[in-house]
Structure 1
């Protein structure tokens, strides 16, 4: 292919999947329509609404500030349950999960290095915060932008981590206590030179074919990476096409929104199933990525692969080998028979 500890229970909150699953319940990805607040049905986290405004007036935090400035805001933790709940509230950075690119917030054990480190919660939230049943807690915070902050988008969030262990999962030989979290996203832009950047990299194709070609469809999976090399958040759209010999189009999937937000500096791995891949062909697969908000932002990458029905070819080789063997054995036996007849003939003449 060519490419242009023990068995006792303990608590672990450093798994991306935990925060990711809860964030999926919280809100969508920079939605085109009305946004919804981050809520898992038991508690929610969202920007504190203005007096008289609806409780979910803002779904995310959106701020802008120059390097060296300080801004203030407030986050609300809403307890929808019938019992008192206690939380550890913290600010952190956002990332894309490497596989699939879903939005996730770093766990409490990981020290933030970007916008999460700029946020200082009110001292009363330094330990834990208890919210009464059907009640809410407003927590003021400040965002102090460093003097050397780089221009562009900086993404993080404020998370309410429930202190109660709500379940146990087996992780090898260790039982892992599960805590739930809900986080409200925070998008912060530092003014200055901004450049959207999107790169398609590492395109490759894996393929499986039936034993007898054209009896069943061959299947393939197209794998590729998207990298945000700019300093702005982008929402990628991707088109996939493939051409066989002589320019014959064998795959044509128009550009579609991936419904994910690719953060600056993040690299994600994506896959695209191809259920009716060619059985036999020389194929060039091309990935084209762009973003609706940035019409001039286009990146392409491609790879070639040879589709060969190897099981069938192997079977033909085996049959051909067997045929050659039979032919050789017959020739040898015929030669031996002719030699024996020649010997007998000579003996008779004597």
Structure 2
């Protein structure tokens, strides 16, 4: 399956589990979490796609990036039920599905980080180099970046899919695993090219962006978008950072003894769950935008009206919207008042 560390060390892990009867098995917990993540991700990203397609201008560069990132999350999400079944029972889907799900896993992962980096660069160009490019050039940059992200992701995932196949463990349990002799080199390349290098680019871009915001006060029109993208970037690296570090560690560290093996397996499983949960976090972060919240509210209330929903539910949505609008107005009035007092 897509869990490369488990795949690459399957023979070592199996022998250790065979010798250590009391070792805690985290696979059942992981499988349950994968199913929960799948449900939340499909719901959140599905609603986000509906909002973008129905209410937003998809010629806008930021909206185009957000749309593609939602698709990337959904592609990654569709693999989770298969890994869940493999964890809860065994791999029962055959060799072709093993390769296809592995390819989908890596397409979702690779495209997500490439699109996130491109989105950050777009914010850098817009905020720091605000005189260049114009709207049309930004749009073409976004289209080119999205197309390149999918081409690179699909191309890179092919090699991962070719190397996986269904193998039987020592107790005749079939699993989807990678038997490539160059698997450790692949881990180093994955962590280096698709985590640390994008991380360095993103840190550089946001350092320049935040410097501009601290120096000037006339950047308010970009504030919401910049904060939203900053939260998306932070969420990505908080989720995937520990997992990538565990992948890097597992290439040279081999636990000795049952307790050490148990602690390492538990830490790896927890980091894996955290990393996979990232696909259902982006829709929540996009709701930092008041406009997207308003569109989502309109989408939900319009569906309720068409289905003959409960008027009290509709009233509740409307009251929540009114409260949010009033709080925004009060916040703006308070900010203007503070600025007026500062000038007095």
| TM-score (norm. length: structure 2) | 0.24
In terms of fraction of residues, the more strand-rich structure is 1
**TM-score, normalising length from structure 1?**
0.24
Could you say which structure has the greater relative contact order, defined with CA pairs below 8 angstroms and 6 or more residues apart?
2
